[in-house]
Amino acid sequence: MPNALNRRTFLYASAFTAGAAMLSACTSGNDDRTGNNSGSPSPKAEKGKGSETKPIKLPTSFSEAPALAQQVKAGKLKPVQERLPDEPYVVPHRWLEPGKYGGNLILTAPSTNDAQIKEYMYGHSLLRFLNDGLDIAPGLVSSWEANTDNSEWTLHFRKGLKWSDGQPWTTADIMFWWDDMVLNEEHSEVPPDEAKSGKGTVMSMTAPDEHTLVMKFDAPSPLTAARLAGYVSRGNGSTWMEPKHYLEKYHPKYNKSVAKNWATADGQFDQKRNFASNPECPTMTGWRLKTYREGRQAIWERNPYYWCVDREGRQLPNIDTLTIGTIEDVEVRKLQIQEGKLDYVHGPFAGLTLADVSGLKKTEQRSKLNVFMWDSGSGTGSMFFFNYDHQDPKMRSLIREPKFRQALSLAFNRADARKQIYFNTGEPTTGTMSPKAVEYQVNDQGKEIYRQWRDSYVAYDPEKAKALLDEIDVADKNGDGKREFPGGGELKIRIDFPANATSDHQQKNNLLKRDWEAIGLTVTLNPVAPEGFGDQWNAGRLATQSAWEVGNGPDHLAQPAWLLPIEPSRWAPLEGQFYNVRGTPDEHAQKDVDPFKRTPPRMEPDPKGPIAALWKLYDQSKTEADTLKRRQLAWEMVKIHIEHGPFFMGSVANTPQLVLAHKDLRNVPRKENLALGGFVNPWQHPTPAVYDPETYFWSNPTEHS
């Protein structure tokens, strides 16, 4: 019977309905925003949206955890006011309530030294993002200023800062990193992008005293503050400092007996500097490493010298210890969650998707984990993009034809992806930078530019897609029902993806295959070993990438890698690599060598093409001191994407990201507390570090010890 409801259809419909209902419950705002599962909102949390941007008055007195107070009483520690800097950082989030000290928080990571662990800790950052990246606030730097053209920046650090071993933190720790690592050709550390001028040349940096740093550029560098706030220093970004008093004995400049391989990957220096695997290494984060068992467990304890406090003057963190166990397998991790083995789960790190909501809600009573969501801030959801620099000239020529890419975007039925993968959340998109980015929040013009990019090739229109392919002679010439290359020849679209891609990416890839075959293309799915994917991509040997997403923000021009090729991992790898060597001797080297055989593979863009135009606008933006003019330059770059793109193809933007927190855990913000509903996905807006997990606390600490 053609209209009969078969078992598979019934089960899918039932699961989808249950998942959608659970998702609606999670995002309805009817939960208690302080972590209580009572069903009624907390009055305090209702008022607590976003974070203060004006300086908060310093508390008149300070307090500390009982365990530290006992050490003070025993003479093992100095009083808290002597351990804090002269002007501690007062965490400014409006949703916070006064905490309680004590307890242990159980987390998990794929490995004991995984970069995601450092995403919980903003302690080394010079400046910090607030309000989902709309604002930049002090960090270790208490104030800063730039000269008229933004070519010289002066940073003033808090006085009285201390490393976790009690030794003073000073600008000598930054200069040690700069002089003895970055500028030391024997060490692998290189100048980060924020240390280069708008011309791409490396700045000069000096420290006039222990609390002042001066950065001088040979051109205006107006994006410096935004770049200093991004990522997590000594985490997944440039380290920007190292504890000189501890590490100098492992550096040959200060210790002549150090072996020649001091700076190699297996050298002692880099092993000693890793505060996430070496408990001896001092840190500025809220917790310091206590014990470390490779591949099994890492235990972090309260840093008695942490430089941040709450409004009541309570030194943070509130929770005594973090216990981080390793679970590599996603399914095992989900089972651990459902069995109540974890206290806090940041969904993107755990491999959780919206399809997991129903199961997590059903086991909520056993796991004691509340399920709630923050906005992802993704501009694409699961995405797809061609390799603009593919090594096969025939395929490369077709990929670079905008109408070809536009046709494939129009042939993609995103409504199915939104329903099947994202449970009718988010917004269908051609693919953009993050909708949370300041360029789209600043005024109505910015909002309209975003809408134009999002909607440019989003409409599901297979007939128009066929017409565009016919127009560029991608047609069935031999009558076999399959479209061929212009001029003839078998055309196969290969959807390459890392073999360990999560289920949301693989579901989307199946939909792409279905929709593109429906307009007459031959499509194959090609899982690739993840270990070699990057090298193959950079060399132009892979045709596509279909297991990423774009979350870049908060400022397009501070983190522009998706907007234009400036490195080799995105949509034009060889041209991105060429941008990397501009201004260096390699720019003019190997001119007579095939671009794909150069070391590394790299090629110049067509001087009349879209990439050259994007580079020109970006070069202008890097030296433009006027903020509004920089925004306009970013909008001009977006217009190139609209006219000549899509260079990357999105599915559904700004879908929710899962966050799980034990019902007794407080000060974990809900979506309603956050300025833009959250901004989770991009690494340069480090989450949850931007929301200060050091303020989390147990309502009943003794029950979680």
Q: Supply 698's token pair.
A: 């147990």
Distance CA 380, CA 70 (A): 52
Q: Is the pLDDT of residue 6 over 70?
A: no
pLDDT band at 36 (very low <50, low <70, confident <90, very high): very low
CA 549 vs CA 141, 191, 641, 651: distances in Å: 32, 27, 17, 9
pLDDT band at 2 (very low <50, low <70, confident <90, very high): very low
- What DSSP assignment string belongs to 574-632? HHHHHHHHTTSGGGGTTTTS-GGGSSS---PPPTTSHHHHHHHHHHHHHT---HHHHHH
> One-letter amino acid identity for 427?
E
Query: Who's near 4: CB < 8 A, 6+ residues apart?
Result: none
Q: Is the pLDDT of residue 290 over 80?
A: yes
Residue-wise pLDDT tens digits, 425-441: 999 999 999 999 999 99
Helix (H, G, I), strand (E, B) or coil at 353: coil
What is the average per-residue pLDDT within 350-370?
92
Query: Who's near 15: CB < 8 A, 6+ residues apart?
Result: 358
Q: Is the pLDDT of residue 3 over 80?
A: no
Q: Is the pLDDT of residue 43 over 80?
A: no
pLDDT band at 264 (very low <50, low <70, confident <90, very high): low
CA 76 vs CA 36, 83, 255, 293, 308: distances in Å: 38, 12, 31, 27, 21
pLDDT band at 26 (very low <50, low <70, confident <90, very high): low
What is the average per-residue pLDDT within 594-601?
96
Q: Is the pLDDT of residue 33 over 50?
A: no
pLDDT band at 47 (very low <50, low <70, confident <90, very high): low
Picking from 51, 274, 234, the residue whose alpha carbon sits closest to that of residue 126 is 234
Query: Phi/psi at 316 (nearest 5 deg)?
Result: -95, 160
Residue-wise pLDDT tens digits, 611-622: 999 999 999 998
Q: How many CB atoms lie within 10 A of CB 629?
A: 13
The reported pLDDT for the residue numbered 330 is: 86
Q: How many CB atoms lie within 10 A of CB 41?
A: 17
Helix (H, G, I), strand (E, B) or coil at 536: helix
Q: Supply 58's token pair.
A: 């310093």
Distance CA 210, CA 167 (A): 13
The reported pLDDT for the residue numbered 623 is: 87
Mean pLDDT score across all residues of the chain: 91
The reported pLDDT for the residue numbered 266 is: 62
- Give the dihedral sign, CA 508/514/519/524: positive
Q: Is the pLDDT of residue 129 over 50?
A: yes
The reported pLDDT for the residue numbered 210 is: 98
Tell me which of 509-513, 624-628, 664-668 is least confident: 624-628
Q: Is the pLDDT of residue 297 over 80?
A: yes
What is the average per-residue pLDDT within 626-637?
95
The reported pLDDT for the residue numbered 265 is: 57
The reported pLDDT for the residue numbered 407 is: 98
Q: If you compute the radius of gyration of the chain from its CA atoms, what whole number of angstroms results?
A: 26
> One-letter amino acid identity for 213?
L
The reported pLDDT for the residue numbered 618 is: 93
The separation between CA 271 and the C-alpha centre of its own chain, rounded to angstroms, equals 25
> One-letter amino acid identity for 418?
R
> One-letter amino acid identity for 630?
R
Domains (range + CATH), the chain: 66-372+655-704 (3.40.190.10), 385-653 (3.10.105.10)
pLDDT band at 357 (very low <50, low <70, confident <90, very high): very high
Distance CA 499, CA 65 (A): 47
Distance CA 177, CA 406 (A): 47
Q: Is the pLDDT of residue 519 over 80?
A: yes
What is the average per-residue pLDDT within 363-367?
94
The reported pLDDT for the residue numbered 42 is: 36
- Percentage, residues of the chain above pLDDT 70: 93
Residue-wise pLDDT tens digits, 49-78: 999 998 899 999 999 999 999 999 999 999
Residue-wise pLDDT tens digits, 401-414: 999 999 999 999 99
